[in-house]
Amino acid sequence: MVGQHIRALEGWLGGRLLNRTTRRQCLTELGRLVQARCRDILRGLDDMEALGASASGEIAGQLRVMTPVSFGAHALAPVLKDYLRNHPKVEIDLIVSDARRDMVEEGIDVVVRVGELADSTMKARALAPYRSILCAAPSYLEKHGHPVTPDELTSHACLGFANPVAGRRWRLVGADGERVVPISLTLAVNSGEALRMAALSGLGIIMQPEVLVAQDLRTGGLVPVLEDYASDVRPTHVLLHPDRHPPPKVRTFVDFLTARFGRRLAGEN
């Protein structure tokens, strides 16, 4: 059915939109121009919808939100009930993913992004910096001792992401300046939650986002390591489309995010 619609559109335009082979398809130059114009048309329709919603003042409809996995699961999901209690006609579609995805193509209304922002036409509002914490289970530290300096991490069991470069260098900032410490990973995993569980079992030291380990730090399941050193502090922003009149559901949700996470990301209830 999609193919029939595309062929009908090509017949109406008098040109090919796709280069087709048996293995792949890609846009032609005309296809790219049509795609860009269609996006403009859709944005215009969104603007008209937003104007209507603003005029009526109704806060309703589906809201697609995308966040990094740790933030979405451990910071945002536990407090969504507070937003939805005040706006019961909004339906939230929460996408937790560490992949960068196109807001327009995916139909996403709001994105929380950690790290430096690339040049973008999207509107951005700052949230609290996203920082990581070095920590380990008390059972591990009782057996192997507390590292006192960053250099001592090289003799400890460290657990990190399965990244051949970033996962084996931890950046720490203290009174003596910035240190990049090369480490050997006893366990390399592609999941922050799996690293957290491994650390809780007493396997070794992790450096993970504060939002991921905040509850464990409060209950004593994990304890901080090298507290005099800050680790991996990154800027955090909420992004939305550059509409002059964002729909009330978007405006109120962004206000909710900045009120909740404008100061600290961890420890919010």
pLDDT at 165: 52
pLDDT at 93: 93
Q: Where are the alpha helices (DSSP H) in the chain?
A: 2-13, 29-56, 69-70, 80-86, 103-106, 138-144, 192-200, 210-219, 248-261
pLDDT at 269: 39
pLDDT at 54: 56
pLDDT at 218: 94
Tell me which H or E stretch contains 236. Answer: strand 230-240
Computed over every residue of the chain, the mean pLDDT equals: 85
Residues of the chain with pLDDT under 50: 266-269
d(CA 130, CA 71): 9
Find tokens 């999207």 and name the residue: 122
CATH 1.20.120, domain 1-57, yes or no: no
d(CA 26, CA 139): 55
Angle at 117 between CA 182 and CA 165, to 5 degrees: 20
CATH architecture of 130-233: 3-Layer(aba) Sandwich (3.40)
> For the segment 146-174, what is each residue's pLDDT rounded down to a tens digit?
999 999 999 999 999 876 555 688 888 88
Whether the Cβ atoms of residue 208 and residue 132 lie closer than 8 Å to each other: yes
pLDDT at 268: 43
Q: Which residues pair with 95 in a beta bridge?
A: 66
10 CB burial (10 A radius; 0-12, 13-18, 19+): middle
Q: Please provide the size of the chain in residues.
A: 269
The alpha carbon of residue 151 and the mean position of all alpha carbons in its chain are separated, in whole angstroms, by 31
Domain ranges of the chain: 1-57, 130-233
